[in-house]
A and B are shown apart, each in its own frame.
Chain A
Amino acid sequence: MIILEGLSKSFDGGASFAVDHVSLTVARGEFRVIVGASGSGKTTLLKTLNRLIEPDGGSITLDGRPVTEGPAYLLRRRIGYVFQGVGLFPHLTVGENIGVTPKLLGWDAATIKGRVEELLDLVSLPCAFASRTPQALSGGQRQRIGLARALAAKPDVVLLDEPFGALDAVTRDTLGHEYRRIHEALGLTTVMITHDMMEALLLADRIAVMKDGKLLADGAPHDILTRAGDPYVRELVETPRRQAEKVAALAAGGA
């Protein structure tokens, strides 16, 4: 369980807020998606969870304990982190990339090797990939490795920052659903950031909508789709709704 209370962050000494007094709860095992346009503060909010950014005000607790307890690098080893840039280490093999956090945690080599194979299997890649270099991979394969690396040290919580944003539509959809399967299979708590409401509606257990650092809506996909009072949120769900209706009409007409 992750609880954010009155969280705020300013990058200009308080003149404006990237995150403006946001309170949010993520239940254990929940797949939580935060939707917003660029500049809405969603990425800043996500990065405060693993302390890549330190907030100015408010608090974050993870399973009842403040995340500020202990050094940041120890927290990050317990939280999986996947982002659009992927950031695979180009000087390491795929296997070494996946095994990096276990190695930091001092696992022995044999255990790491076994874990790498397990994870390649989990993200649907052949074991032979372990000895390859990241340069030789496609975009989709890279993000699968990024995902495997985030999961390597068996975290309970995974943070995803627009993880599939740079991929083509089909790969994005495939990976999204594969991740959802992994989320359930491993019983993870996931916080994902996206600007794509359709993606959020299809994957999330609960959706939060952010604009200008403020939380505008917080609810299950069904509620967001049908009961949103805020005009911005209604505007956001309008596009996927229209697209879905059109596709449904096309399918019906064509049959």
Chain B
Amino acid sequence: MNEQIAAAFGLLPVYLGWHVVLSGAALTLGLVLSAPLAVISARSPRVRWPVLAVAGLIQTIPSLALLALFYPLLLALSAVTRGAIGHGFPALGFLPSLLALTLYSMLPILRNGVTGLTGVDPAVVEAAKGVGMTDRQRLWQVEAPLAAPVAMAGVRTAAVWVIGTATLSTSVGQTSLGDYIFSGLQTENWVLVLFGCAASAGLAFVVDQLLGLIETGLARRDRRRVVIGLGALLAGFLLASAPIIAAASRPAGYVIGAKNFSEQYILSDLMTDQLERAGSRVTQKNDLGSVIAFRALAGNEIDAYVDYSGTIWTTVLGRKDTPPRAVLLAEMTRELKAKYGVAVLGALGFENAYALAMRRTAAAKLHIASIADLAQHAPDLTLGSDLEFLSRIEWRGIESAYGLHFRTQRQFQPTFMYKAVEDGQADVISAFSSDGRIAADDLVVLTDPKGAIPPYDAVILLAPKRGGDERLKQALQPLVGRITVEAMRSANLTVDRDRDKRSPVDAAHALAAAIGLK
């Protein structure tokens, strides 16, 4: 327990730093954009309605979706600018997070700004004109100071929202305090989840209090409070961003990506270890969505990560046929090189296939051994799946090959999916064949007599610009063909199990030792 907290604290400077830089930048940008819009809206009712309506509409978009939508948008824009001026920009990480959070911060600032400005006593406005102020003087000397306390309340709301929502930026590859929460959720490390929550909530609380100090300072015309509040915010921002600036000034190294589950964290740590032992600097981008990870690699935003042949085959290459394992691997390697310039360094040696699994006792009772057997009982059963399985091409393949129709289908975070099958909330789950929990939870994997599920060899993929990077290849080559499914399963289990948990880093060390790398 103490060790986990110590490890969490070790990551805090970087996570907190990015969180502060990201939310600070988003809030500042939101303020800079919203303030003039609020002034224009306050003066013209014809502008006010559409501006507030659009800001309100943005607010109704789920924050995770807003973050996710900026990725394809920026990707397209980047392609346009690359075509026009020869330079693209990264579509993952800071930029989409910044834009989404900026949009998110605008409604409360706008709404309170407009309320504050329109709430200024008309007699005071008339007096301001009467004494000979220009429009600008009236705004700065009278309306802005009088609207400031109400407007500041909006800034406080926006700040709390932005700091909370910034934890979601982890999912588009931006490091934040959300890294604790996402990886804690995936590895069932509740200490980590709580730590991330507490850090984010604590930050939001402190910022809110400082903004509150500024708000009362403005309301009471107390310059001292305003100066102290602003000074503390600025000092906090600079202090928190120092580790980020320090890191940025070091020479850039390799970027290793990982999707959002334990095996990916372990393999990412394993690759990172290999590279660091070879003297390279490495940064990690964890918790990438399945398709986002490949696009990021193809766009040279990450240098290497592990994906699975069947996933690439169906979701990236759009293939519906299921050739044998070796044929698929060879053809995939060829097509990735040709279409995307992505190099396949090699297969790690194990498969992590999608598999339908049931509790052994339940399967025995119903005499279900294969997916074909399952089809007869499916109308009485509940399918629990992870968040992407049901929208994947493989599922459509299995569904139509066996004519599967379940009574209900429920989606879970992988962690909760295993819990669900354990306590009977789901009868069948979309398990992963390399998952240690299959054996640990006494589940049985149903056979696939029709071969509807493609093979899923774990493969190391290299970004187009790293295809000829011998140093990278040499560091990662020792992993190729070395990891058995048993070794991977037991490494996964040490991270996923409830008791005596290991961190992915420790599991990576253990795995390295087990396959004889150290």
A residues lining the B interface (CB < 8 Å)? 50, 52, 71, 73-78, 81, 83, 85-91, 100-101, 104, 146, 149-150, 153
Q: Can you name 20 extra interface pairs (CB under 8 A) apart from A73-B137, A77-B131, A87-B123?
A: A50-B130, A71-B134, A73-B129, A73-B134, A78-B132, A81-B127, A81-B130, A83-B126, A83-B127, A85-B121, A87-B130, A88-B124, A89-B124, A89-B127, A100-B131, A101-B132, A146-B127, A149-B127, A149-B131, A153-B132
The 29 listed contacts between A and B (C-beta, < 8 Å) are A50-B130, A52-B129, A52-B130, A73-B129, A76-B132, A78-B132, A81-B130, A81-B131, A83-B126, A85-B121, A85-B122, A85-B126, A85-B127, A86-B127, A87-B121, A87-B124, A87-B127, A87-B130, A88-B127, A89-B142, A91-B142, A91-B145, A101-B131, A101-B132, A104-B133, A104-B137, A146-B127, A149-B127, A153-B132
Residues of A contacting B129 with CB < 8 Å? Answer: 52, 73, 76
The CA-CA distance from A207 to B123 in the complex, in Å, is 27
Residues of A contacting B125 with CB < 8 Å? Answer: 87
In the complex, whether B128 has a CB less than 8 A from a CB of chain A is yes
The CA-CA distance from A89 to B123 in the complex, in Å, is 9
Shortest Cβ distance from residue B127 to the other chain A in the assembled complex, whole angstroms: 3
The CA-CA distance from A25 to B145 in the complex, in Å, is 41
Residues of A contacting B132 with CB < 8 Å? Answer: 73-78, 101, 104, 153
Q: Identify B146's interface contact among A77, A83, A91, CB under 8 A.
A: A91
Chain B, range 131-169, C-beta contacts under 8 Å to A: 131-134, 137, 142, 145-146
Residues of B contacting A81 with CB < 8 Å? Answer: 127, 130-131
Indicate the member of B125, B126, B128, B221 with the most A CB atoms within 10 Å.
B126
B residues lining the A interface (CB < 8 Å)? 121-134, 137, 142, 145-146, 221
**Interface contact A52-B134, CB-CB below 8 Å:** no
Shortest Cβ distance from residue A229 to the other chain B in the assembled complex, whole angstroms: 36
Shortest Cβ distance from residue A197 to the other chain B in the assembled complex, whole angstroms: 26
The CA-CA distance from A37 to B123 in the complex, in Å, is 21
Q: Identify B221's interface contact among A71, A91, A104, CB under 8 A.
A: A91
Which B residue sits closest to A101, measured CB to CB?
B131
Shortest Cβ distance from residue B129 to the other chain A in the assembled complex, whole angstroms: 6
**Interface contact A104-B126, CB-CB below 8 Å:** no
Shortest Cβ distance from residue A239 to the other chain B in the assembled complex, whole angstroms: 29
Indicate the member of A73, A87, A90, A101 with the most B CB atoms within 10 Å.
A87
Residues of B contacting A76 with CB < 8 Å? Answer: 129-132
The CA-CA distance from A86 to B122 in the complex, in Å, is 11
The CA-CA distance from A81 to B131 in the complex, in Å, is 7
Residues of A contacting B130 with CB < 8 Å? Answer: 50, 52, 76, 81, 83, 87, 150
Residues of B contacting A91 with CB < 8 Å? Answer: 142, 145-146, 221
The CA-CA distance from A232 to B128 in the complex, in Å, is 36
**Interface contact B126-A52, CB-CB below 8 Å:** yes
Residues of A contacting B128 with CB < 8 Å? Answer: 87, 89
Which A residue sits closest to B127, measured CB to CB?
A87
The CA-CA distance from A77 to B131 in the complex, in Å, is 6
Which A residue sits closest to B145, measured CB to CB?
A91
Shortest Cβ distance from residue B326 to the other chain A in the assembled complex, whole angstroms: 78
Which A residue sits closest to B218, measured CB to CB?
A91
Indicate the member of B129, B133, B145 with the most A CB atoms within 10 Å.
B129
The CA-CA distance from A90 to B132 in the complex, in Å, is 18
Residues of A contacting B137 with CB < 8 Å? Answer: 73, 104
**Interface contact B131-A104, CB-CB below 8 Å:** yes
The CA-CA distance from A76 to B146 in the complex, in Å, is 23
Which B residue sits closest to A85, measured CB to CB?
B123
The CA-CA distance from A94 to B133 in the complex, in Å, is 18
The CA-CA distance from A89 to B128 in the complex, in Å, is 8
Which B residue sits closest to A105, measured CB to CB?
B132
Residues of A contacting B121 with CB < 8 Å? Answer: 85, 87, 90
Residues of B contacting A104 with CB < 8 Å? Answer: 131-133, 137
Shortest Cβ distance from residue B144 to the other chain A in the assembled complex, whole angstroms: 10
Residues of B contacting A87 with CB < 8 Å? Answer: 121, 123-128, 130
Shortest Cβ distance from residue A83 to the other chain B in the assembled complex, whole angstroms: 7
Residues of B contacting A52 with CB < 8 Å? Answer: 126, 129-130
Shortest Cβ distance from residue A205 to the other chain B in the assembled complex, whole angstroms: 24
**Interface contact A83-B123, CB-CB below 8 Å:** yes
Shortest Cβ distance from residue B226 to the other chain A in the assembled complex, whole angstroms: 13
The CA-CA distance from A91 to B124 in the complex, in Å, is 11
The CA-CA distance from A188 to B137 in the complex, in Å, is 28
Q: Identify A90's interface contact among B124, B126, B131, B134, CB under 8 A.
A: B124
Residues of A contacting B133 with CB < 8 Å? Answer: 73, 104
Which B residue sits closest to A146, measured CB to CB?
B127
Which B residue sits closest to A88, measured CB to CB?
B127
Shortest Cβ distance from residue A95 to the other chain B in the assembled complex, whole angstroms: 14
The CA-CA distance from A77 to B137 in the complex, in Å, is 13
The CA-CA distance from A149 to B131 in the complex, in Å, is 8
Residues of A contacting B221 with CB < 8 Å? Answer: 91
The CA-CA distance from A73 to B125 in the complex, in Å, is 14
Q: Identify B123's interface contact among A75, A86, A101, CB under 8 A.
A: A86
Residues of A contacting B131 with CB < 8 Å? Answer: 76-77, 81, 100-101, 104, 149
Which B residue sits closest to A149, measured CB to CB?
B131
Residues of B contacting A90 with CB < 8 Å? Answer: 121, 124, 146
The CA-CA distance from A83 to B128 in the complex, in Å, is 12
Shortest Cβ distance from residue A52 to the other chain B in the assembled complex, whole angstroms: 6
Residues of A contacting B124 with CB < 8 Å? Answer: 87-90
The CA-CA distance from A100 to B221 in the complex, in Å, is 18
What are the 3 tightest A-B residue pairs by CB atom distance, in nearest-first order? A87-B127, A85-B123, A77-B132
The CA-CA distance from A169 to B146 in the complex, in Å, is 32
Residues of B contacting A89 with CB < 8 Å? Answer: 124, 127-128, 142
Which A residue sits closest to B148, measured CB to CB?
A91
The CA-CA distance from A71 to B142 in the complex, in Å, is 20
Shortest Cβ distance from residue A62 to the other chain B in the assembled complex, whole angstroms: 15
Shortest Cβ distance from residue A209 to the other chain B in the assembled complex, whole angstroms: 25
Which A residue sits closest to B129, measured CB to CB?
A52
Which B residue sits closest to A100, measured CB to CB?
B131
Residues of A contacting B127 with CB < 8 Å? Answer: 81, 83, 85-89, 146, 149
Residues of B contacting A77 with CB < 8 Å? Answer: 131-132
Which B residue sits closest to A78, measured CB to CB?
B132
Residues of B contacting A100 with CB < 8 Å? Answer: 131
Shortest Cβ distance from residue B338 to the other chain A in the assembled complex, whole angstroms: 69
The CA-CA distance from A91 to B116 in the complex, in Å, is 14
Shortest Cβ distance from residue B273 to the other chain A in the assembled complex, whole angstroms: 61
